[in-house]
Amino acid sequence: MNPASKHDSLGFLETWFRMKAFLPDLHVSKWLLDSAHDAMPYYIYCRKNHIQPFIDLNVKRGIKVKYKNDFTIGEDGVPVCKAGRKMRHDGSEPSKGRLKFRCPLASRKYGCSCTHPCSDSKYGRTVHLAMKDNPRLINFPPRDTKEWKKEFNARTSAERSNKREKIDFQLESGRHRSTKMWYCRLYHIMMLQHLDAWDLPFESPLRKLILEVA
C-alpha cells in the first residue's frame, strides 16, 4: 500500500521487486499496464528480462517522433508519411526485432496513386521500424494489431477487481491510522473476493438458458 502522493509507476516498481524477492523462480512473460507506466526504462527492463510489454502510450510524453528525417510515428506506433497518411502494416520480423510498413496508396499493378509519391517503385515506399531505435514506440505485437488490443483488453479485469474492493466492499470507508489495520482490511476483502469466485456456478446461466430455448 502506497500513499496517494506516490506516482503509480513508482508504486508498481516497489511492488514488483518485492514480489520478485518473495518468488525468485517465478517468471512473468507479459506486463499489462496503463499510460502511467509509459516510460522508457520500463521498456528497456522488459527487453533485458524477456517480458512482453503491453503499455498504453501517454500522449503528454511525446508521441509524434521524427523517424529517419522524413517520417513521424503516430500515437499507435504506426509511421505517418509526408502526406500525412498512416502506412499499412506489412509484416513483422521478430528475429530481427523490426516491423515492416508500406505506402497505403501503392499497388503492384497500378503503382502509387499519391500526387507526390515518396518512391518510384510500384511496391511503394517501405519503412522498417527497428525496436532498438525506440522500444517505447516500436514493440511486438504492434499496437495497431488485433493481437495487441486483445491482450491489453484483459486489463479490464484488474479494474473490475479494484472497483469490487473500493466500492462494493468499501475499502476506503475505514478510518484506520495504522498501516497494519489497512492491510488487515484489504486482506479480508481479498478473501471475500476469493469466496465469491469459488461460489460462481461452473456453467454459465446465460448459456444454459440459450440451450434450453434452442
Write out the DSSP string of 35-81. Answer: GGG--HHHHHHHHHTT-EEEE---GGG---EEETTTEEE-TTS-EE-
The pLDDT of residue 57 is 83
- pLDDT digits over 104-117, tens only? 777 666 666 777 77
pLDDT less than 70: residues of the chain: 61-70, 75, 107-112, 201-214
The pLDDT of residue 94 is 77
Domains of the chain, residue spans = 8-155, 169-213
Residue % of the chain over a pLDDT of 70: 86
Cα–Cα distances in angstroms (integers) from residue 128 to residues 63, 107, 140, 203, in the given order: 18, 19, 13, 48
d(CA 152, CA 147): 9
Instruction: Give residues with Cβ within 8 angstroms of 212, minimum separation 6.
Output: none
The pLDDT of residue 41 is 92
d(CA 14, CA 110): 56
d(CA 186, CA 1): 10
Please state whether 133 falls in left (phi above 0), alpha (psi between -120 and 50) or beta. Answer: alpha
Name which of 56, 9, 10 is nearest 34 in CA terms: 56
